[in-house]
Amino acid sequence: MAYVAAHNIFSPLGTTSAAVFAAVAAGRSAVAEHAGIFPGDGPVWASRMPEGWMQALPELNGTFSPFELLLIASIRGATAQTALALEAERTIFVFATTKGNIGLLDENPEVSAALVAKLSLAASARAVARYFGNANTPVVVSNACTSGVAALLVAQRLLASGQYDTAVVAGADTVSRFVLSGFQAFQALSTGRCRPFSADRDGINLGEAAATIVLTAQPPAAAVATVRLASGAISNDANHISGPSRTGAELARAIGQALAAAGLTAAEVDFISAHGTATPYNDAMEASAFALSGVQTKPVHSVKGALGHTLGAAGLVESVLSVLALTEGCLLPTVGYSQPMQPTPLQIATAARPAALRVGLKTASGFGGCNGALVFARV
């Protein structure tokens, strides 16, 4: 168990957790039409940071890459108003990302030793941790789209081991031609704003963002509503490296394991923040997994229509929103949802509504067959 002491989302929908939560609750979306990838391609729908966003951090521009700036901005956003000792020896930084600085390859540079060094995920992590004065070697998790969820679980474990008191968990990924072209080759991109869990869903929108959750072994001092990360679990489908399992059995097992470790039953789950990428296969698999683990009647939401699929950041962005759902007592809508899918329609809302919420389940799945589930609970 670990306590959520601070958090932030730095995204095209806002640069504070509260602003992003309000935007998602209001049904807003940062997914917009952008130029195609290759000459002759149709437009691509994605959620991108506004032009010139890096001007907000002029002192860092030039020293850090856009990917690293996203992380720094988010960590700052989470910790600036707190007394957290980021440079302490008993504070560890845990990062989540799938591709780090891969956007640097978009400009077709000559491959050199210097470029290879810049592309190192661990080196980026070290630079960001050092920026905040922390001398520990940061932990970097790169587990495809489950990275955010996995990083939170890793942080919780590190705190439980007694090695550290505080874990700054931050994740980010950028939208690049490298990644867009790949998902296009997979015919996985939606032709418009994506439609999670809808009968007519046709693919994903990519998004870029950063998010941070600071976990502490001890509960925060302030007597405000606190959320703890009760437990989590990771599994693998052992089926196919890019296609999700048809049964959802392994995600279901991760959900069951996480609930059991938290001492909770499926009935006690109040809502699910799903992976909900809006591909035909992912959403069907997740719905099957929810049915197998007995949570299919619970309110479910996906924010991929609002913020796109932020890859390594997704698990963190969506966990922050889950934490706020719990503290605000508000069930989030699913932007882009159109009609219920068959055979397993889920409880999806198109508008936010207040509700007394105590337990939230966050799920994620990714290339490589990995699945992750986290249980957040109000203290």
Partner 1 sequence: MQDLKLKLKELLVEHLNLQDIKPEDIGDDQPIFGEGLGLDSIDALEIIVMLQQHFGIRLTKADNGPQVLASVNSMADYIMAHPQPQK
Partner 2 sequence: MNSPPKLLRSCSIQNGTIWIDGAEVFTGPTNDFAAFATSAFRALTIDYPKFYKMDNLAKLGFLAAEHLLAGLNFRTPGVADRTGIVLANANSSLDTDLRYAAQVQQGLASPALFVYTLPNIVVGEVCIRHGITGENMLFEAEHYDAAAQVAYVANLFAHNTIDQCLSGWIDLLGQEYRAFFYLVGAGSQPTLPDYTAASVETLFTT
Is-cis flag, bond preceding 66, omega within 30?
A: no
The answer to whether residue 222 forms part of the interface with partner 2 (CB under 8 A) is: no
- Cβ within 8 Å of residue 185, ≥6 positions away: none
Taking the complex as a whole, the smallest distance from the CB of residue 243 to partner 1 amounts, in Å, to 6
Q: Which of 7, 48, 76, 99 binds partner 2 (CB under 8 A)?
A: 99
Minimum distance of partner 2 from residue 130's CB (angstroms):
13
Q: Which does 77 bind (CB under 5 to 8 A by kind): partner 1, partner 2, none?
A: none
Structure tokens at 251: 């995600």
Cα dist from 125 to 11, 87, 96, 119, 346, whole Å = 19, 14, 9, 11, 38
Is residue 239 within the footprint of partner 2 (CB under 8 A)? yes
Tokens found for residue 280: 């035909």
Question: Least separation, in Å, of the C-beta of 202 and partner 1?
Answer: 8
59 binds, among partner 2, partner 1, none (CB under 5 to 8 A by kind): none
Q: 190 or 273, CB closer to partner 1?
A: 190
Contact of residue 243 among partner 1, partner 2, none (CB under 5-8 Å per partner type): partner 1
Cα 86 to Cα 168, 188, 223, 231, 354: the distances in Å are 8, 39, 22, 24, 35
Q: Which is nearer to partner 1, 130 or 246 (CB)?
A: 246
Query: Least distance to partner 2 from the beta carbon of 272, Å?
Result: 21
Question: Is the Cβ of residue 244 or residue 360 nearer to partner 2 in the bound state?
Answer: 244
Distance in angstroms (rounded) separating the CA atoms of residues 358 and 95 = 27
Q: Closest CB to partner 2 among 28 and 177? A: 177
- Please give the Cα distance from 45 to 151 (Å, whole number): 28
- The residues annotated with a catalytic role in the active site are 145, 275, 309
348 to 377: interface string for partner 2, x by CB under 8 A: ------------------xxxxx-------
Fill in the amino acid letter for 255: I
> Binding to partner 2 by residue 161, rule CB under 8 A?
yes
For 350-368, what is the HEC assignment? CCCEECCCCEEEEEEEECC
- 302, 354, 349: which is closest to 327 by C-alpha? 354
Site string for partner 2, 116-145 (x = CB under 8 A): x--xxxxx-xx----------x-xxxxxx-
- Structure tokens, 273: 């923040």
Is 93 within 8 Å of 132 (Cβ atoms)? yes
Report the distance separating Cα 277 and Cα 275, nearest Å. Answer: 6
Judge contact between 5 and 153, C-beta under 8 A.
Answer: no
- Cis ω before 333 (30° cut-off from 0): no
Partner from partner 2, partner 1, none contacting 182, C-beta within 5 to 8 A by type: partner 2
Q: How far is the CB of 109 from partner 2 (least distance, A)?
A: 9
Between CA 373 and CA 201 the distance in angstroms is 23
Q: Residue 244 belongs to what H/E stretch?
A: none
Residues that bind partner 1 (CB under 8 A): 185-187, 240-243
What is the smallest separation between the CB atom of 312 and partner 1, expressed in angstroms? 22
> Which residue from 129, 233, 259, 364 is in contact with partner 2, where contact means CB under 8 A?
233
What does the binding site for partner 2 look like in residue numbers (CB under 8 A)? 38-39, 98-100, 102, 105, 108, 111, 116, 119-123, 125-126, 137, 139-144, 150, 154, 157-158, 160-161, 163, 177-178, 181-182, 184-186, 233-242, 250, 253, 366-370
